[in-house]
Amino acid sequence: MAQQTQLDSDTILDILGNDTRRKILSVLSEEPMYFNQLAKEIGIGQQAIIRHLQALEDIGLIETYGKKSEFGAPERKYYRLNTSFVLTVSLSEDDFTVSKHEIKQLRHKESKKYYESLDSIPEEAGEALSLLKQNLADIEEEISTLESRLTDLYALKQVVLRKLHEIGMDGFDAEERRLLYKIVEQSPRSIADLATFMDEKESSVKGLIKEMKGKMGKDNAQLLFGKLK
């Protein structure tokens, strides 16, 4: 079995920079396929599809499994998706963040009615299809509502960050601004944590804090640095 690369945001963005790999994932999101099917569906050669599949398998985005043929032919190797997550890229004048969140059932009380609707769907195919369609439509509507609120919160975050950056530009030099942003955005619990976030020595961070305290005044300094130990 291939050694999997750590599935972090940078690795995912790098692997998904290829259009063919994105198409492979899109096709496999509908149903598993063996490589001949994928090559035909996407419209590229078999050798090329194998290279892309290997890259996706190495990173852990897809996996393989064997399935016996109904006609006595050798067992076929099928490919299917192997992970579930949401990758969010936030880019604005005052922010650039990439975050990855696993998709898993938490059954929050706010989602209870959708789970109950799903759990009550019968096994009989005809009726189930109609109910599944409605259940999916309701979920999509809820997602759209939440995304609209999330977009509004991102806009509000941008305003807050802009004010933070304006304060930093007005009163501090480059290293002091970097420290200021890390404190406000990362909320470190200690000087050691802050030094880790900044990739600096603790002694250097303590020196910066001392200089900033002299510029800010006692009360403001206490508000900003008071909880750091």
Q: Which positions of the chain have pLDDT values less than 70?
A: 1-6, 69-72
Global confidence as pTM? 0.68
Q: Tell me if 124 is assigned to some domain.
A: yes
- How many CA atoms lie less than 13 Å away from 5 in the CB half-sphere? 16
Domain count, the chain: 3
| C-alpha R_g of the chain | 25
Q: Any idea what the CATH number is for the domain that residue 30 is in?
A: 1.10.10.10
Q: Mark whether 79 and 18 lie in a shared domain.
A: yes
Q: Which range of residues forms the domain containing residue 152? A: 88-97+105-159
pLDDT per residue as tens digits for the range 170-200 = 878 899 888 988 888 888 989 999 999 999 9
Q: Tell me if 3 is assigned to some domain.
A: no
pLDDT per residue as tens digits for the range 133-150 = 999 999 999 999 999 999
DSSP notation for 107-131: --GGGHHHHHHHHT--S-HHHHHHH
